[in-house]
Amino acid sequence: MPKQYLNYINGKWVTAVSRKTFKSLNPANTKDIVGIFPRSDARDVDHAVRAAKKAFSKWKAIPAPKRGELLFEVAELLRKRKTKLGDLVTREMGKVKKEGHGDVQEAVDMAYYMAAEGRRLHGQTMPSELRNKSIRTVREPVGVFALITPWNFPVAIPAWKIFPALVCGNTVVFKPSNYTAACAAEFVSLFDEIGIPPGVLNLVHGYGSEAGEALINHNGLNGISFTGSSAVGRHVAEIVAPKFIKHCLEMGGKNVVIVMDDADIDLAVDGCIWAGFGTTGQRCTAASRVVIHKKVYNTFREKFVKRARKLKIGNGLKKGIEMGPLINEDAVKKVEKYIDIAKKRDKVRMLCGGKRHTQGECKYGHFFQPTIYDNVKPKHVIACEEIFGPVVALMKADNFEHAIKIANGVEYGLSSAIFTRDVNRAEYAARALEAGIVYINTATIGAEIQAPFGGVKRTGNGHREAGGIGGALETYTEMKVITIDYSGKIQKAQIQED
* Nearest distance from C-beta of residue 330 to ligand UN1, angstroms: 18
# binding residues, ligand UN1 (CB under 6 A): 10
Pick 305 or 392: Cβ nearer ligand UN1:
392
Binding of ligand UN1 by 447 (CB under 6 A): yes
- Least distance (Å) between residue 443 CB and ligand UN1: 9
Q: State which of positions 227-266 bind ligand UN1 (CB under 6 A).
A: 227
Residue 310 CA neighbour count, 13 Å, CB half: 9
445 binds ligand UN1 (CB under 6 A): yes
User: Taken in order 207, 208, 210, 214, is the CA torsion positive or negative?
Assistant: positive
| Nearest-approach distance from CB 97 to ligand UN1, in angstroms | 17
62-70, 132-140, 278-286, 318-326 -> range binding ligand UN1 (CB under 6 A): 278-286
d(C-alpha 42, C-alpha 217), whole Å:
9
Any bridge partners for residue 313, and if so which? 323
DSSP string, 216-253: HH-TT-SEEEEES-HHHHHHHHHHHGGGT-EEEEE---
Query: Near ligand UN1 by CB under 6 A, which window of 84-92, 169-177, 380-388, 444-452?
Result: 444-452
Per CB under 6 A, 108 contacts ligand UN1: no
Q: Which residue intervals of 81-148 are DSSP H helices? A: 82-93, 97-117
| Among 78-86, 335-343, 344-352, 440-448, the segment contacting ligand UN1 (CB under 6 A) | 440-448
Under the binding rule (CB under 6 A), the answer on residue 283 touching ligand UN1 is yes
Q: Where are the alpha helices (DSSP H) in 318-461?
A: 329-344, 400-408, 423-432
Q: Which stretch binds ligand UN1 (CB under 6 A): 135-143, 190-198, 425-433, 445-453?
A: 445-453
Q: Kindly list the catalytic residues.
A: 250, 284
Q: Identify whether the C-beta of residue 163 lies closer than 8 Å to the C-beta of residue 200.
A: no
435 binds ligand UN1 (CB under 6 A): no
284 binds ligand UN1 (CB under 6 A): yes
CB proximity list for 117: less than 8 A, separation 6 or greater: 64, 68, 164, 167, 468, 473
Amino acid at 30: T
CB neighbourhood size of 98 (10 A): 14
Q: Which is nearer to ligand UN1, 178 or 285 (CB)?
A: 285
Q: DSSP of 93-105, one letter per residue?
A: H---HHHHHHHHH
Binding-site string for ligand UN1 from residue 141 to residue 170, where x marks contact by CB under 6 A and - marks none: -----------xx-----------------
Which residues sit at the interface with ligand UN1, rule CB under 6 A? 106, 152-153, 227, 283-285, 445-447
